[in-house]
Amino acid sequence: MKWPKLRELKEAVTAVVKGPYTHPFPAEPAPLPDWIRGKPVYDADGCIGCGACAEVCPVRAIEVQDVVAAGGTPFRRLTLHYDNCVFCGECVRHCTTQAGIDFTQDYELSGFDRAEMVEQVEKELVPCELCNRPIGPRDHLLWIYRKLGALAYSNVTVTLAAQDALGLRERLPRDDRPLDRTDIQRVLCPACRRSVTLLDEWGPV
């Protein structure tokens, strides 16, 4: 019994002289390796609002809301509930731009209110010029335009959205008249594009 006590005494004296073996966290932040997966956050410049990260999230921790308020600019809001996140990395791995979301080294994520445990990014939505339904985020359409290069000219909506962003397009005025073939030169949702294309091909039905 005597020797173990002496060993503990030696360890206590050593600890007083040299300091404790353990890290003084939380008084000081612990050193972290580069590969640590802390809180995932969006990069508003790199994200195009496509929602692919929400599609691949295995625990549905990412919510996609298209907000269309009367009189306001429609926008898409992506909300990452990091209280539900399992830090699997699928959202980072499958991010369309590979620059929209990444892990930080922030690992102190405990809190008292789950509603505050969110990371968000918002992206302006482009509405259809005929029915006003949102087509998709403007940044997403521009990303497709740049990605496709010359092939983008095969898609009128993508091309016109890019011209809008460059300030190169003057919108044709529109009143309550029926559809006609001039409506082809508008930013349209798939349903309205189909209606205008059929009208142009087959005439009024």
DSSP 139-153: HHHHHHHHHHGGGGG
DSSP symbol at 114? G
Q: How far apart are CA 91 and CA 154, in angstroms?
A: 30
Q: In this structure, are residues 109 and 39 in contact, taking their beta carbons and an 8 Å threshold?
A: yes
Strand partners of residue 78: 64, 121
Minimum Å gap between C-beta 189 and ligand SF4 is 20
Closest CB to ligand SF4 among residues 87, 179 = 87
Closest CB to ligand SF4 among residues 32, 86 = 86
Closest CB to ligand SF4 among residues 14, 104 = 104
| Angstrom distances, CA of residue 66 to CA of 43, 52, 123, 125 | 19, 15, 9, 8
Minimum Å gap between C-beta 124 and ligand SF4 is 13
Closest CB to ligand SF4 among residues 97, 155 = 97
Minimum Å gap between C-beta 157 and ligand SF4 is 19
Closest CB to ligand SF4 among residues 63, 200 = 63
Residue nearest to ligand SF4 (CB): 100
Minimum Å gap between C-beta 99 and ligand SF4 is 8
Which residues contribute to the site for ligand SF4 (CB under 6 A)? 40, 42, 47-53, 57, 59, 61-62, 78, 80, 85-91, 95-97, 100-101
Q: How far apart are CA 80 and CA 47, in angstroms?
A: 13
> What are 164's two structure tokens?
């809008």
Minimum Å gap between C-beta 67 and ligand SF4 is 15
Beta strands in the chain (DSSP E): 40-42, 62-67, 75-81, 101-103, 118-127, 134-137
Closest CB to ligand SF4 among residues 57, 144 = 57
Minimum Å gap between C-beta 93 and ligand SF4 is 8
| Angstrom distances, CA of residue 43 to CA of 40, 82, 99, 155 | 10, 16, 7, 28
